[in-house]
Amino acid sequence: YPFNTAFADSLDELNLNYEFQSYNGDHTNQLLTRFRISFQFLDSVMIVPVELTSFTASANGKEVTLNWSTATELNNLGFEIQRSTEGKEFFTVGFVSGYGTTTELQNYSYADKNLNNGKYYYRLKQVDYDGSYEYSDVVEVEWRAFNSYLLEQNYPNPFNPTTTIGFGIQNKSNVKITVLNSIGEEVAVVLNEEREAGYHQVEFNAENLPSGVYFYQINSGEFIQTKKMLLLK
């Protein structure tokens, strides 16, 4: 039977001590043998790593917003936010404190402001209390400051069968982008949803359309603009 069970202060050690005794079966009940066994379990208790479940970056014309979540954390001091303009050399631009040790879902966010137009790369440097660290995967985002509305020429153009359409809006609003054929008939809806102010890109797939000249039109509040594109199959 166990006579002593000792739990260490940390989660990575557990000590169990057992004592075994045998007695004479007659009326004297004489103790015949006694011995003890001690067990020490290292790393036997559940170790909870910092498990990153998602990490995304989005731009809205005012700032780049980073969002990430963890499923579990162990001794998590926090996250350094690191940024790069070419995807190779990263610099720390901020820090978000962690929740230490937890098995509950945690959500984090960070807003990176005062940026110049261009593409940015971000990664997280997760730091433990003991100074050890681990890097996340790298995410990239295109950021442009906007004080007006914009509809870019699709790229590539001519295309087959997919092309990218870039646009910018000044205020948060519903954005509808439609594709028209050469006689003005609507043949596809590329986008019809609310978007934040800033620069965005959508992909148009014309797999089900024949070759020819098409027009794509953006409608967002009072902003309406149309451009031409060429599908060659």
Q: Domain residue spans in the chain?
A: 2-42, 51-143, 150-231
**Percent of the chain having pLDDT more than 70?**
79
What value does the mean pLDDT take over residues 20-46? 49
The tally of CA atoms less than 13 A away on the side-chain side of residue 99 is 17
User: For position 19, what pLDDT does the model report?
Assistant: 52
Is the distance from CB of 17 to CB of 4 less than 8 angstroms? yes
- What local confidence, expressed as pLDDT, does residue 148 receive? 78
**What distances in angstroms separate CA 141 from CA 20, 85, 230, one per listed residue?**
66, 10, 27
Given a cut of 60, is residue 127 above it in pLDDT? Answer: yes
Q: Which residue has the tokens 């800033």?
A: 198
CA distance 206 to 226: 17
Q: How far apart are CA 73 and CA 129, in angstroms?
A: 12
Does the pTM surpass 0.75? The reply is no
pLDDT at 12 over 60: no
CATH placement of domain 51-143: 2.60.40.10
Do 51-143 and 150-231 fold alike per CATH? yes
Q: Is residue 225's pLDDT more than 60?
A: yes
- What is the fold, at CATH topology level, of the domain defined by 150-231? Immunoglobulin-like (2.60.40)
